[in-house]
Amino acid sequence: MMENKNIKQIIEDTVNRTVLKLKAADLLKDNRKSAYQKTEELLRNYPNFKLSDQPYTKKLCNKIETALRTIKDDYYYEVIALYYFEKYTREEVAEHFNTSETTISRNKRRLIDRLSTVLFSDDKIYEIFL
C-alpha cells in the first residue's frame, strides 16, 4: 500500500512539473482569459454597467473610472472611448486622428495593457511568470 502512494506521488509531481514547463514554454495554454481580454470585455460593457444601480456594478464602474484616469493625459486616450464606448471601427478612429489603422491598433493595445495592469494586476503578474 505504501508503495502505491509513493508511485502516485511521483507521478503527480512529474505531471505538475511537466505542465509548468509546457506553460512556461508557451506550449500549453489554459482557458483563462488574459488580463488584456478581461479589460477589453469590461470596456465593451462599461456603458451598460453605468446604467445599473447595483452596488457591485457601481463599485466596478468606479474601478474602471479610476483606471481610465491613469491614462487620461495620453494623446491617444480618446481611442478607448471611441472604440469601446462609441463603437467606432478602427478605420473610423484612424480617420478621427488622421493617422493609420496600424498606429491606432498599436496605441489601443498599449493603453489596454496599461489599464489591465491597474484592473487586473494579479493576473498580469501571473502572466509574466507563467
Q: Report pLDDT for 20.
A: 76
Calpha distance 82→51 (Å, rounded): 19
Residue with cell 473610423: 92
* pLDDT for position 103: 97
pLDDT digits (tens, 9 = 90+) for 70-103: 999 999 999 999 999 999 999 999 999 999 999 9
Please return the burial class of 69, using the count of CB atoms within 10 Å of its CB with bins 0-12, 13-18 and 19+.
exposed
* Mean pLDDT, all residues of the chain: 90
Checking if the pLDDT of 121 tops 80, the result is yes
Cα–Cα separations (whole angstroms), residue 110 to 75, 105, 114: 12, 9, 6
Tell me what the mean pLDDT of segment 55-73 comes to: 96
Q: Are 49 and 97 in contact (CB under 8 A)?
A: no
User: What pTM did the predictor assign?
Assistant: 0.72
